[in-house]
């Protein structure tokens, strides 16, 4: 059974989500203090985490940073509606998606299912074990990226995005196609999520993120990963 961890200091939200998600067939646990999250994650081993930013003890941004240092568990971050800074910070420290409060359970469920479906699909992708383009080497089996032999840590969403771009190297991909394939067909969020993840990937893989070599913008359309034959 898929296990979900809810991290929020509002008991009514936690109790409501536990009740609703359990009715959908998930195993759910709740925790209300940021300082307790790492220990609970180690013991509970969730498949996905719903993480609020405003927490006692340790805020959600710091919790996400700590989790990303040792785990690629998908994280959906809950932010205050209209607070773009929190959303961007959450994505930049490794959250896979965000949802502004207040939110509908139906929308959260769609996000959860989209992420879990993408993780599951990745396990059954056509049998290719690795791919090298330029100085980048992507190991599909271990879900690891290295550049010039040095490993570059990626969140689960960053890996999914880079994997999709590299598998389709040389092709211009529309924003809609990328969001559908990486975030799932039920994606109903802000398209700027894609731009933030692209920017964060560029910070990690490009020699000069301001002049990207690997991930190119196709103006008015989407993005394109450079083809292997284009690399000298």
pLDDT over 90 percentage in the chain: 60
* Tokens of residue 191, six digits: 């398209």
For 97, the 3-state DSSP assignment is strand
For 175, the 3-state DSSP assignment is helix
Q: Parse the chain into domains and list their residue ranges.
A: 3-122, 125-230
- Per-residue pLDDT band for 152 (boundaries 50, 70, 90) equals very high
Domain 125-230 carries which CATH code?
1.10.10.10
Which pTM was predicted? 0.59
Q: Tell me, what's the pLDDT at 13?
A: 93
Q: How many CB atoms lie within 10 A of CB 102?
A: 9
pLDDT tens-digit readout, 26-50: 999 999 999 999 999 999 999 999 9
Q: Tell me, what's the pLDDT at 185?
A: 58
Could you give the CA distance from residue 145 to residue 153 in angstroms, rounded to a whole number? 7
Topology annotation, domain 3-122: Rossmann fold (3.40.50)
Residue (of 209, 207, 200, 212) closest to 64 by Cα position = 200
């Amino acid at each position: 059974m898929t296990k979900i961890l809810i991290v929020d200091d509002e008991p009514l939200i936690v109790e409501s989500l536990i009740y609703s998600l359990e009715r959908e067939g998930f195993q759910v646990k709740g925790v209300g203090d940021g300082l307790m999250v790492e220990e609970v994650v180690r013991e509970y081993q969730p498949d996905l985490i719903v993480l609020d930013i405003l927490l006692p003890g340790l805020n959600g941004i710091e919790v996400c940073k700590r989790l990303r240092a040792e785990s690629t568990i998908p994280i959906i971050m809950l932010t205050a509606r209209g607070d773009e800074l929190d959303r961007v910070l959450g994505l930049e420290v490794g959250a896979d998606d965000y949802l502004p409060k207040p939110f509908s359970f139906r929308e959260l469920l769609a996000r959860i299912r989209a992420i879990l479906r993408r993780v599951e699909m990745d396990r059954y992708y056509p049998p290719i074990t690795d791919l090298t383009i330029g100085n980048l080497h992507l190991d599909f089996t271990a879900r690891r990226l290295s550049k010039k032999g040095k490993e570059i840590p990626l969140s689960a969403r960053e890996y999914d995005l880079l994997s999709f771009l590299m598998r389709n190297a040389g092709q211009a991909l529309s924003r809609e196609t990328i969001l559908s394939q990486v975030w799932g067909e039920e994606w109903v969020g802000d398209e700027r999520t894609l731009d933030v993840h692209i920017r964060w990937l560029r910070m990690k893989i490009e020699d000069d993120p301001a002049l990207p070599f690997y991930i190119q913008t196709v103006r008015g359309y989407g993005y394109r990963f450079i083809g292997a034959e284009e690399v000298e």
